[in-house]
Structure 1
């Protein structure tokens, strides 16, 4: 049965292509704006995020508004059939607001109030700032609610950071009183404040974590991060209140972030919670291609992981690539342009993993300030005769040919648990390798085994219903929240396969160690208990072997475990745990639960998951062999599959097609049934 997701607006057909447009910076040069509208058509760009930082032009002095310039831009977009993703401009406020109402300025963890400047430098608790943003947003909604160009609201920009002012301190205490039912003793127990005599005898004594005490009370640190997420969401809800009221049929989004340049999830906010409040997930992707930090294929796998994470936040609904660069950024340590083919390939990778857009930052390079040398579709040259502009135009033409794919999604049978709160707690713990405990790297290493084989994966949180998957993987599930172990047990009993690793089941949701032996509430389903974990030095060469005769290098962690009802499949070959189990399996109900007691090289995970997929019958997108560095992904509506083959190497690659299957190349309309040849950084999209 066909299943498609109506993503944004009835006026939208196919993929969104365009990006951030800042005409407010060019109002004194109207010929530039005229030229922009000519170039938009040539670039095959039809969607623009407008007025993200336009507050000082919309309200140049308090209560004095100027919408004439925005009226003109919106009207001109509509005249040429283009779309506007209209922003609320709270990400950067005008100077008059900071001057008259200093309470809106953010206070840092050292309790010093910031000066005016930067962006996102606002207190998310300030009643004044909430009032001013709500007021301006209401005026925007009243004015443009019926405008034919409007397809979506872009709420603020890249929410992030935290404020430690007195208003936020009081809000934090209120949050804690609600969470702990006004029971201060319950908070003291949850935070284990008897340590170093930090017990609180009055709510007024509680403050946000300060720089000198960041490692003292882990439960407080965790609750503070939860509060920052909750308060940020509350600020966002205040922003969208008039939009929901006046434009109920216009969806809202806010652009989530990644942690660059290695492409990890952004740690500042719990996006599992934030995702519940947006209609469409969107995010800003800026990987450091060609930096030499890792191979292009390794970085591509990490980027894919984050794409899949954000696609999974709304149960497979397509997301939007809200920002990407058509060439280079200006804020990496070293700023590299995208090599020939990479701009297209990077964009198409987002599409392959579920994006319904390719949007850029930025449409036109600014003339001054910090982003004047950031890449853009239109450079300072100001015309279409540049490499980047022509590449963007060519991609726009390709997206028009791929229109039937928009609205389809991905249907994985495998899920990996990545949880923001677990990540916070792991990073806060004083244990293992305190420089980098490698939690997200662990998640991405397991993920890479499936990426290489062309098996789609969802990246989910602990709150997710796991029942739709056949395989569930929980790397370093250090924190086990209430009810999660029970869900995992039910999943395995009903025939699912669960894979857990070292350092799992250590603490509860308050970051309190679980008593009675690790892996705590997962002990029953895994059939083992873990006594201790060791962190190996770089010069320690520890090996593990499996029952099939394969031997592998162990990474920085090895755990001493004891088999209870499980069976050992592998053992440590040497080192302090020589002869002890390194890999176990436990038959539990109709399913199985595996435990990996060591961090291992990629080859171990590749071979383990290849065997597992074959044993349980999970098939890759194509059954033929996929060359190293080539990614094969699939989008589907249930009735029609679309196969993406992408070469993330600098060598020519050949991908054989399964015997007896015939495909059409959607970009060339040619048919093929034997093999696909891919030049460096080339891709094809096939329809069966």
Structure 2
């Protein structure tokens, strides 16, 4: 966020989505009283209120919103005022049925839920900017207004539309990308394959359903287009709001969480004054606390290392998974403060009051169906007090000397059809390498391959970088040459930005820096494992992937013990320039991978933030005059950790050690 555009609220912001239109007005008075009791300082309003704000085209009714904002102001609660454009009203689709989205199979979807619009629809864009402008004109100077909330969860349900309007917009995007040269597109997409050559732009379509596997370069450009098309809607709304209220920051809520990969947030983040994120736990994740940490580190990195806002998470169960589990005692508090530990300067939930009807009636809220006589309410009030006690943490940063490469192009390309193994999942591969760092209490940033400031790091890990362009590959190689440590995972560097295989042997773009060459890939079948020997723990194994690798300057650290590749190197190390480059050409078992990552980071001079028992998360935020050491026990056993200063949640001095209660949290202010 720029220095001009920041959230002018004291301390850590606290609140959630507020949807009073779902309730009679007499409930609103109780809401205000209970918000004050819980310590709420900001709520998001108007997110899904388009049908009420604009009951007919160009006809507005702001009476309800006027009352809501007045009540918030009177009670000292700031408003994050949303443009309601994620859910166009029924009248809009009756008037403009061409704005409905079309799926890959050619089916036109109906309205009746949310985000059922074509992102390329001119009618939708015009209507969205009109309602955004009406809101901006009316409320730009309202004293309750603290932030603009643009749309809601872009791409959550309509990341792609395959209609003819979208096809035309795709062609316009492609003409800009390829300088209006159809032959440049043919080269980039390698359309001589399967007779896909295009002689005119009008022949180019979205990657609709076909009888065989699609062209991967076509599919990759489509993903890029879809992300950019939604981004153009976001920036257009932001500009409407900015013209009316240039000093009010604008955000939109990202979805950096497992299984959502629709948008390239490296391109989105610079367009926002404040980066915010929604994060929900997956019930089938036995260590969801790791996903919270990974997500938080990635969002903080998207924000340029600055604090960010958690715009949505849940107090308990959600409603959209096969089984929606409630949170265990203490879990809600640990989740929230873990987000703060990883850089959040605001904690908010979906939603304030649990809905009694509608598609999300079984989604938890700050004020549950059971009311104030509930554990969730007690936890909500306690968390409000905790965040108030942590007010001084606001604005502090999280310095790291280790970075993991994250790239949406690489993710999209890897998960296209017709890979050597259909079991490759980008986020799973990255998380495999992130876990040992998290367990060790090592601070982590995420970076693009072409990030300009890599020298601030000692260690860079690229667990999965299947696609990389020449500039990104050269950037990582130069980091190594200057003395850094680089570790690269299998099937990286294989293709360029157009999904063209880099010829001459694998791992393509990284052969020289890694000092290895592979001539053939040997992915492993489900359940198949191979043994590893060398500088690895006894009994080490690997699965998922192997390759016939030969040394071209590197040293073998581990080799396969059995199978068709017995004796072939599986892990290598190469001195390149003034630095060191490691290659992990398989997926070691978790214990072996942890030992390997620990060795790589120790060789790079990376040490944990603080010694702590296994399962106790250790994170540091750095302020101007002091550091803030977050200690979170995920084991239920508690711990004693070396620390010196003041424990902020209790206000007690700490001398020598601090006690973390079973399943609890301690936050210690330590002088520099």
- TM-score where L is the length of structure 1: 0.94
Specify the SS of the correspondent of 1:340. Answer: coil
Specify the SS of the correspondent of 2:129. Answer: helix
Q: Is the 8 A contact 1:455 1:620 kept in 2?
A: yes
The correspondence for 2:460, drawn from 449, 472, 478, is 472
Partner Cα separation in structure 1 for residue 497 and residue 78 of structure 2: 44
Task: Give matches, 1:286-325, under 5 Å.
Answer: 286-288=280-282, 291=283, 293-295=284-286, 298-325=287-314
Task: Tell me what 2:437 maps to.
Answer: 450
Is 1:110 matched with 2:95?
no
Partner Cα separation in structure 2 for residue 326 and residue 589 of structure 1: 51
Structure 1 gap ranges (5+): none
Task: Tell me what 1:394 maps to.
Answer: 382
Partner Cα separation in structure 1 for residue 650 and residue 548 of structure 2: 56
Partner Cα separation in structure 2 for residue 438 and residue 165 of structure 1: 29
Is 1:196 matched with 2:182?
no
Is 1:216 matched with 2:210?
no
Q: Deviation per CA, 1:35-87, whole angstroms, max 9, x where unpaired? A: 11111111111110000001111111112111121111111111121110000
State the 1:548 CA deviation: 6.6
The correspondence for 1:519, drawn from 507, 520, 535, is 507
Is 1:21 matched with 2:6?
no
Partner Cα separation in structure 2 for residue 30 and residue 36 of structure 1: 10
Partner Cα separation in structure 1 for residue 2 and residue 336 of structure 2: 20
The correspondence for 1:366, drawn from 355, 372, 378, is 355
Q: Deviation per CA, 1:361-414, whole angstroms, max 9, x where unpaired? A: 010122211111211112234x42322112101110111010010111211110
Task: Tell me what 1:571 maps to.
Answer: 559
Task: Tell me what 2:550 maps to.
Answer: 562
Specify the SS of the correspondent of 1:500. Answer: strand
State the 1:606 CA deviation: 2.0
Partner Cα separation in structure 2 for residue 370 and residue 536 of structure 1: 42
Partner Cα separation in structure 1 for residue 316 and residue 3 of structure 2: 30
Q: Is the 8 A contact 1:215 1:428 kept in 2?
A: no
Is 1:641 matched with 2:627?
yes
Q: Is the 8 A contact 2:6 2:274 kept in 1?
A: no
State the 1:186 CA deviation: 1.8
The correspondence for 1:252, drawn from 250, 253, 276, is 250
Q: Is the 8 A contact 1:7 1:407 kept in 2?
A: no
Is 1:63 matched with 2:54?
no
Specify the SS of the correspondent of 1:211. Answer: coil
- TM-score where L is the length of structure 2: 0.96
Q: Deviation per CA, 1:197-241, whole angstroms, max 9, x where unpaired? A: 122222111110112357321111001111101111111122122
State the 1:618 CA deviation: 2.0
Partner Cα separation in structure 2 for residue 149 and residue 213 of structure 1: 55
Partner Cα separation in structure 2 for residue 377 and residue 592 of structure 1: 50
Partner Cα separation in structure 1 for residue 194 and residue 93 of structure 2: 40
State the 1:495 CA deviation: 0.9
Specify the SS of the correspondent of 2:395. Answer: coil
Q: Is the 8 A contact 1:9 1:151 kept in 2?
A: no
State the 1:431 CA deviation: 2.5
Q: Aligned pair in 2 of structure 1 residues 438, 62: CA closer, same or farther (>3 Å)?
A: closer
Is 1:142 matched with 2:131?
no
Q: Aligned pair in 2 of structure 1 residues 652, 5: CA closer, same or farther (>3 Å)?
A: farther
Partner Cα separation in structure 2 for residue 22 and residue 406 of structure 1: 27
- With a CA cutoff of 8 Å and minimum separation of 6, indicate the structure with the bigger relative contact order: 1
State the 1:614 CA deviation: 2.9
The correspondence for 1:589, drawn from 559, 577, 583, is 577
Task: Tell me what 1:331 maps to.
Answer: 320
Q: Is the 8 A contact 2:494 2:509 kept in 1?
A: no
Out of 420-429 and 666-675, give the one that drifted further.
666-675
Is 1:131 matched with 2:126?
yes
The correspondence for 1:684, drawn from 662, 666, 671, is 666
State the 1:619 CA deviation: 2.3
Partner Cα separation in structure 2 for residue 7 and residue 373 of structure 1: 40
Task: Tell me what 1:352 maps to.
Answer: 341
Task: Tell me what 2:449 maps to.
Answer: 462
Task: Tell me what 2:366 maps to.
Answer: 377
State the 1:158 CA deviation: 0.6
Q: Deviation per CA, 1:112-153, whole angstroms, max 9, x where unpaired? A: 222222111111222221111111111111111111111111
Partner Cα separation in structure 2 for residue 247 and residue 519 of structure 1: 51
Q: Is the 8 A contact 2:406 2:446 kept in 1?
A: yes
Q: Is the 8 A contact 1:497 1:592 kept in 2?
A: yes
Task: Give matches, 1:384-423, under 5 Å.
Answer: 384-423=372-411
The correspondence for 2:424, drawn from 434, 437, 440, is 437
Q: Deviation per CA, 1:569-615, whole angstroms, max 9, x where unpaired? A: 22112221111111111111111111111111122232223223333
Q: Is the 8 A contact 1:654 1:675 kept in 2?
A: no
State the 1:313 CA deviation: 0.6
Task: Tell me what 1:632 maps to.
Answer: 618
Partner Cα separation in structure 1 for residue 462 and residue 343 of structure 2: 23
Partner Cα separation in structure 2 for residue 551 and residue 472 of structure 1: 28
Q: Deviation per CA, 1:408-434, whole angstroms, max 9, x where unpaired? A: 121111011121111111110413331
Partner Cα separation in structure 2 for residue 656 and residue 39 of structure 1: 37
Q: Aligned pair in 2 of structure 1 residues 221, 213: CA closer, same or farther (>3 Å)?
A: farther
Q: Is the 8 A contact 2:101 2:118 kept in 1?
A: yes
Is 1:498 matched with 2:486?
yes
Is 1:671 matched with 2:650?
no
Q: Is the 8 A contact 2:644 2:668 kept in 1?
A: no
Out of 487-496 and 636-645, give the one that drifted further.
636-645
